[in-house]
Amino acid sequence: MIPQSFIQDLLNRVDIVDVVGRYVQLKKGGANYMGLCPFHNEKSPSFTVSPTKQFYHCFGCGAHGTAIGFLIDYSGQGFVDAVKDLAQGVGMIVPENDDKIPPAQRAEQQARSLALSEAMSQACDYYRKQLRAAPRAIDYLKARGLSGEIAARYGMGFAPDGWDNLRSIFPDYDNLALVESGLVIDRSDEDGANRKRYDRFRDRIMFPIRNTKGQVIGFGGRVLDKGEPKYLNSPETPLFQKGSELYGLFEARLAIRDAGYALVTEGYMDVVALAQHGFAQAVATLGTACTPTHVHKLLRQTDHVIFSFDGDSAGRRAARRALDACLPYATDDKMIQFLFLPTEHDPDSFVRERGAPAFDQEVRDAMPLSQFLLKEVTDNVDLQTPEGRARAQFDAKPLLQAMPASSLRLQIVRGLAQLTQSTPSEIEGLFELLQPVARKRAAPPKAHRSAPIGLEWQIMRILVSQPQLALQIDDDAAVALLDSAAEHGEMLGHLIGTCQAMGEQANFAALAEQLRSGGEDFDTLIADVAQSTESDIDVLRQELAGAIRQTRLKLIKLEFERLAANGLGTPEAVQRYRELTQQKEAIQRATEEEIAKR
């Protein structure tokens, strides 16, 4: 787990304007920067980035967060990956409890990774320039129905024929990074003699593969004419693991959000052909079966994923592997579907021959995961016999065991029970499903907590805006605030404790990031501060002191009322009345002195 102190230090060093500016065109507008929101379509900029708060906020769709949150939401990275990305940019090394790698070795690994990344970027630029000067390659792409705009959007290029063309951009052609990145191949005899180095990609259309940060990490190359292999991919490298990456995901992110779903295909040409016909939300696996990592990465971008497969037997096998990869993530709030094209078509040929409307209808008719699962386990058995029904249950057992307990799993269990003449409870018991849904009582709904108002809201808002001011809240003041907070005492106590633990270096962005990881209780408050104008810290310090005085006066008034209701018949009650009077007068004097200073 990454220490919170490191997160705070990182956010103090990172400039969110620089981070967001890599992906969004920003213009200065007053104290903030403005741009078109990357999370929804808009024509007038409502997306603001505050350099003082180190926070972004969109007045259109409500998206907001720190530099870490932006990378998570924009690129689909996990929290740890986003932190590592930012840390690398400012020369920080992320500490990890289970990390035994010495700092010097870690720095060496980072330098090596940077060298590989720079080599891939240079090669990509080279291939793109070569395409512009290759009429044969351009004619091929035009014949496939692709425009120059699509080729440019996906950074497509051309590797000319020849053994060592990359020597022209890499004077040190013997550099180890060229082999480690997969750009060149090193061959030698068994005894190590007659060593020969040559370009891996020759006379091929080049498809650069980008990670979620937009960095080129690999290539796919397609032959122009007949030849084997038709597609040649980069080998596994420190930058590129086929089971973790998806072609076109970087380019498709905004389109996925706009369309409301991601479309997964099996090839590079499928992706660019679909994009040419208006389906820019398409991505592709990289010559390998769909993995759970692929599914997890997609579901960070959208709650709706559609897998498109050829209708032949190979397509069915690929679909089954995708089904297996999806099951751990098949929950009630996710929609996963499977699209099977006619046997003679892949998405590229289908959309070129029949057009976008016909393909869109195929998408609309895609088969839900539940239907595909039941079809897989019942298609080749005779449900009219006990043996056939038992076989269907046998095949379904590992699939249902791989699913989390959910209403969706219950619906599939019910469907299987009906097909196999059983009951849902019998299926769950026979399959030994964890947390059986059919037999357990539903949990009571979570109580809705109203938002804080009045003094509570004012105090919390001040602390979120300037968390270092929490250090002026002593124990007596904290007790008073929590005693008066009523419904939101736990929330206020958590906020005060968190702010004080962060110390004098605390700021809005670091606090917002820490509160975000703890749930949504503070989300409305953070959004309110994010979209408000910056307040002077001295003014907020006075407001906080005033709010604490008002809180104490409120508690004194309540105790006065209790004493009056019970009468002042005892010496203790009289003494307490005098103490409260003195406290009230002291608070009033402090208030008058504060006003006089202004």
Q: What pLDDT, in 10s, does the model give residues 181-239?
A: 999 998 865 555 556 899 999 999 999 999 877 889 999 999 988 878 899 999 999 88
Of residues 435 and 89, more confidently modeled: 89
Phi, psi of 577 (to 5 degrees): -60, -45
423: number of Cβ within 10 Å: 13
Per-residue pLDDT tens over the stretch 126-181: 999 999 999 999 999 999 999 999 999 999 999 999 999 999 999 899 988 999 99
Handedness of CA 369, 370, 374, 379 (dihedral sign): negative
Tell me the mean pLDDT in the region 266-281. 95
pLDDT for 578 beyond 60: yes
Query: What pLDDT score does 434 carry?
Result: 62
Query: What pLDDT score does 123 carry?
Result: 96
Tell me the mean pLDDT in the region 436-454. 47
pLDDT for 449 beyond 50: no
pLDDT over 90 for what percent of the chain? 41
Tell me the mean pLDDT in the region 25-52. 86
Query: What pLDDT score does 450 carry?
Result: 46
Query: What pLDDT score does 399 carry?
Result: 95
Query: What pLDDT score does 168 carry?
Result: 94
pLDDT for 315 beyond 90: no
User: Please, which pLDDT band fits residue 97 given cuts at 50, 70 and 90?
Assistant: low
Q: Which residues, including other chains, have CB under 8 Å from residue 286's CB and lie 6 or more apart?
A: 209, 218, 220, 233, 242, 245, 246, 247
Query: What pLDDT score does 546 carry?
Result: 80
Distance between CA 447 and CA 450 in Å, rounded? 10
Among the residue ranges 64-68, 79-83, 88-92, 278-282, the one predicted with the least confidence is 88-92
Query: What pLDDT score does 442 carry?
Result: 38
Q: Does residue 367 sit in helix, strand or coil? A: strand
Q: Do 201 and 195 contact (CB within 8 A), yes or no?
A: no
The tokens for 74 are 């924009």
Domains, the chain, with CATH or none? 4-89 (3.90.580.10), 110-188+196-233 (3.90.980.10), 249-365 (3.40.1360.10), 374-431 (1.20.50.20), 454-597 (1.10.860)
300: number of Cβ within 10 Å: 14
Query: What pLDDT score does 196 carry?
Result: 86
User: Please, which pLDDT band fits residue 411 given cuts at 50, 70 and 90?
Assistant: very high
Query: What pLDDT score does 108 carry?
Result: 76
What is the signed CA dihedral for 556, 561, 566, 570, rounded to 10 degrees? Answer: 40
Q: Do 16 and 56 contact (CB within 8 A), yes or no?
A: yes
pLDDT for 69 beyond 50: yes
Query: What pLDDT score does 439 carry?
Result: 45
CB burial string 429-461: b at 16+ within 10 A, e below: eebebeebbbeeeeeeeeeeeeebeebbebbbb
Distance between CA 293 and CA 302 in Å, rounded? 15
> Which amino acid, 119?
A
Query: What pLDDT score does 520 carry?
Result: 56
The tokens for 89 are 């940019």
**How many helices and strands, by DSSP H and E, does the chain display?**
25, 16
The tokens for 587 are 């608070």
Of residues 393 and 475, more confidently modeled: 393
Helices within 503-536 (DSSP H only): 508-516, 523-530
Strongest mean pLDDT among 146-150, 404-408, 506-510, 530-534:
146-150
Query: What pLDDT score does 551 carry?
Result: 75
Length of the chain: 598
User: Please, which pLDDT band fits residue 570 given cuts at 50, 70 and 90?
Assistant: confident
Q: Does residue 218 sit in helix, strand or coil? A: strand
Q: Which residue has the tokens 């590989």?
A: 116
Query: What pLDDT score does 443 carry?
Result: 37
Among the residue ranges 55-59, 146-150, 499-503, the one predicted with the least confidence is 499-503
Q: Which residues pair with 34 in a beta bridge?
A: 27, 48
Q: Quick one: which H or E segment has residue 199? A: strand 196-199
Query: What pLDDT score does 488 carry?
Result: 65
pLDDT for 319 beyond 90: yes
398: number of Cβ within 10 Å: 11
CA angle (166 as vertex; 165, 171 as ends), nearest 5: 115
Q: Which residues pair with 157 in a beta bridge?
A: 206
pLDDT for 484 beyond 80: no
Query: What pLDDT score does 106 carry?
Result: 65
The tokens for 511 are 């606090």
CB burial string 7-27: b at 16+ within 10 A, e below: bbbbbeebebbebbeebbebe
Q: Which residues pair with 65 in a beta bridge?
A: 56
Handedness of CA 76, 79, 80, 85 (dihedral sign): positive
Query: What pLDDT score does 441 carry?
Result: 37
Among the residue ranges 86-100, 355-369, 538-552, 580-594, the one predicted with the least confidence is 86-100
User: Please, which pLDDT band fits residue 446 given cuts at 50, 70 and 90?
Assistant: very low
* C-alpha distances in Å from residue 239, one per residue of 94, 286, 300, 312, 554: 19, 14, 21, 33, 61
State the average pLDDT for the chain. Answer: 85
